[in-house]
Amino acid sequence: MTQRLQAPVVVLLVAVAAIATLVVVRAFPPASKRPLRTLEAGRMADFEARFDAARDSTRLLLLLSPT
Amino acid sequence: MRGASALQGLLTELPDRPVRVLAVWEPVLPTDKGPPTARVLSRLEDPRVEQYWDPGRVLSGRILAAAPRVPAFALFSGQLDAAWDLAAVYPPGVRWQGGVPTPVYCGNPVVGSLDSLRAHLAVAVALPSGP
């Protein structure tokens, strides 16, 4: 009786662990792959320099809300 | 936030175009309590994108200040206290001198501007390199 119960429980635990892993991975991609620079008044010159540095390309300025 | 996903889709359509995207996230809505999460940032996964968090809406302020002299920004002139959900296109060669440069196109909202953005990005051609 106990052994018959164990198999479904193990399957359930594995499924829960897999779902939890998927949720965590999707919610928190590796930070190093998504660098986020802070833009402040004192750093505008750096931002402008980045804009100019790419002047061989078409540039797109995007302003967005995070939510 | 939908604008980011839409823009990523556009970049995916144009994998070889010489385009650089400077994506600036700023707090505008009451729900904007802090910088974008990693999940939000991952909506713009293209390597041609650089992402910034602008907590003081510095760039937005510069655009509002430029609105009276830059026709493309005129839609932000006056009543708004923030310029957002916008995509401004600059052709090769334009440099940032003084105020915010004049774009050849400014779309707002981003999701509703995809056709125009596509047209502008599709003709993107890099300047010939100097001697």
Higher-confidence residue of B1 and A46: namely A46
Q: What residues of A are in contact with residue B91 (Cβ under 8 Å)?
A: 58
Which residues of A lie closer than 8 Å to B, measured between beta carbons?
26-29, 31, 34-41, 44, 47-48, 50-52, 54-67
ipTM above 0.90, yes or no: no
Separation between Cα atoms, residue B3 and residue B88, nearest integer Å: 13
Separation between Cα atoms, residue A33 and residue B48, nearest integer Å: 13
Would you place residue A18 in the very low, low, confident or very high pLDDT band (cuts 50, 70, 90)? confident
What's residue A28's pLDDT?
A: 54
